[in-house]
Amino acid sequence: MKQLNDANHALGDRSLLMSILREQGYWFFRNVLDPEAVGQLRNLYITELRDRDLLPPGASEAVWNGLTPIEIDDGVTSSRYPRLREARAWETFVEHPGIIRFFSELTGEKPEWLTSSDYYRIVPPRQERGEDAFSLRHQDGKGLPGLDFVTCWIPLENVDADVGGLAIVPGSHRNGVVAERWHDRDFAPPEAWARADYRVGDVLMFVGSMLHSGMRNRSANRFRLSLDIRFYLPGSRRPVTGPLVSITTDDVVIRNEAGEDVTLRLVDDTFILAMDGQNEIPRPLHRSEALYVLSPGKMVMAVNDDGVALNLRPANSAGY
């Protein structure tokens, strides 16, 4: 598989960095994240695994003990790991001075992070590869229409080819966000994909229209630990965020941060994502269903496009 190009040489040159992002659709940086901040975050994941009796007593490495059956999956949202959410794990991470310093130097300002799109992932070992190595292919922009953001994928363990990690299709962002969130293999042949052997301290970042996929963890006993978080690009549009005042099939009223009630129309194309009490992770809903799931007072966010809501989803981590 092709290897990612690192962009360390462009750090300090914002014009060059933005040129790379426009051309490649991604930045890959080696050994740039503060080790103390990464270590503190990683320790929370290790504690999660120890509390589930998946590691040997006192273990500091994410290596399965081979005894306790593994009942976790990819951990696609923080709702699967309430202790990490309750510990405000990602929020504490991004407020570490070393993390603020790196991202501020990268973007030219202290970054503003999306509050509803964080993912704590613990991917277990011994996953079957299957016929399609990129079966989880998707674009993040599908679920966040109208927002200009960068996804940051942060490995908390060293990740070799067996452990898998994240793969992307460089240049696929030029196609924009396609109609379907999941794409068949014809959309990008195997030779179009790229990855790296990731190390702790690295970070892979890409725009919302980048086609990417988590790969299976085929190692014998190593868990893959990672964090996904997203920040807005400087100067880009922000969503209307605040408590839900009311909702019908046709419109939604949100009280914004200034205390003003903002009314937005709901249409069939509005991408609505919410927890319905029957699922562990937020799922897409039609506007005819949303009023039965989203209750007044819930913190939500919506992107305003000339009075129409492009999307509507909980504003807090994991749909809470």
Say if residue 30 is in the same domain as residue 139: yes
Say if residue 137 is in the same domain as residue 270: no
Model confidence pLDDT, tens digit, residues 235-267: 999 999 999 999 999 999 999 999 999 999 999
Mean pLDDT of 63-69: 93
Say if residue 222 is in the same domain as residue 284: no
The predicted pLDDT at position 182 comes to 54
Query: Taking the model in full, what pTM does it have?
Result: 0.93
Mean pLDDT of 178-199: 82
- Whole-number average pLDDT of the chain: 91
Say if residue 152 is in the same domain as residue 294: no
In terms of Cβ atoms closer than 10 Å to its own Cβ (0-12, 13-18, 19+), residue 297 is exposed
Q: Write out the DSSP string of 265-311.
A: E--TT-EEEE--SS-SS-EEE-HHHHTTTS-TT-EEEEEEETTEEEE
What gap in Å lies between CA 151 and CA 37, rounded to an integer? Answer: 19
Residue for token digits 């990731």? 198
Say if residue 307 is in the same domain as residue 192: no
**Count of structural domains, the chain:** 2
Q: Which residue among 199, 232, 265 closes a domain?
A: 232
What gap in Å lies between CA 82 and CA 86, rounded to an integer? Answer: 6
The count of other CB atoms within 10 Å of the CB of residue 30 is 14
Say if residue 146 is in the same domain as residue 256: no
What gap in Å lies between CA 260 and CA 130, rounded to an integer? Answer: 51
The pLDDT of residue 79 is above 80: no
Say if residue 185 is in the same domain as residue 310: no
Say if residue 175 is in the same domain as residue 30: yes
Around 45, how many Cα atoms within 13 Å sit in the side-chain half-sphere?
A: 27
Say if residue 101 is in the same domain as residue 57: yes
The predicted pLDDT at position 192 comes to 93
In 3D space, the residue among 113, 118, 100 whose CA is nearest the CA of residue 36 turns out to be: 100
Q: Residue 131: which pLDDT band, with cuts at 50, 70 and 90?
A: confident
The percent of the chain in helix, strand and coil, each rounded to the nearest 5, is 25, 25, 50
Would you tell me the crossing angle of helices 97-107 and 35-51 to the nearest 10 degrees?
A: 120
Say if residue 16 is in the same domain as residue 109: yes
- Cβ proximity of 184 and 147 under 8 Å: no
What gap in Å lies between CA 225 and CA 246, rounded to an integer? Answer: 39
CATH number at residue 311: 2.40.50
Q: What are phi and psi of 115, to 5 degrees?
A: -95, -5
Q: Residue 75: which pLDDT band, with cuts at 50, 70 and 90?
A: very low
CATH number at residue 48: 2.60.120.620
Q: Which residue among 189, 207, 232 closes a domain?
A: 232
Say if residue 32 is in the same domain as residue 134: yes
The predicted pLDDT at position 199 comes to 98
Q: Residue 127: which pLDDT band, with cuts at 50, 70 and 90?
A: confident
- Distances in whole angstroms, Cα of residue 98 to Cα of each of 72, 94, 124, 272: 31, 9, 30, 35
Question: Would you give the DSSP letter of residue 166?
Answer: E
Q: Which residue among 185, 206, 232 closes a domain?
A: 232
Q: Name 206's Cβ contacts closer than 8 Å, sequence gap at least 6.
A: 25, 26, 27, 150, 151, 153, 168, 173, 212
Say if residue 183 is in the same domain as residue 301: no
Q: Residue 142: which pLDDT band, with cuts at 50, 70 and 90?
A: confident
Range of the domain at 289: 240-319
- Distances in whole angstroms, Cα of residue 188 to Cα of each of 2, 135, 167, 174, 239: 13, 11, 12, 13, 31
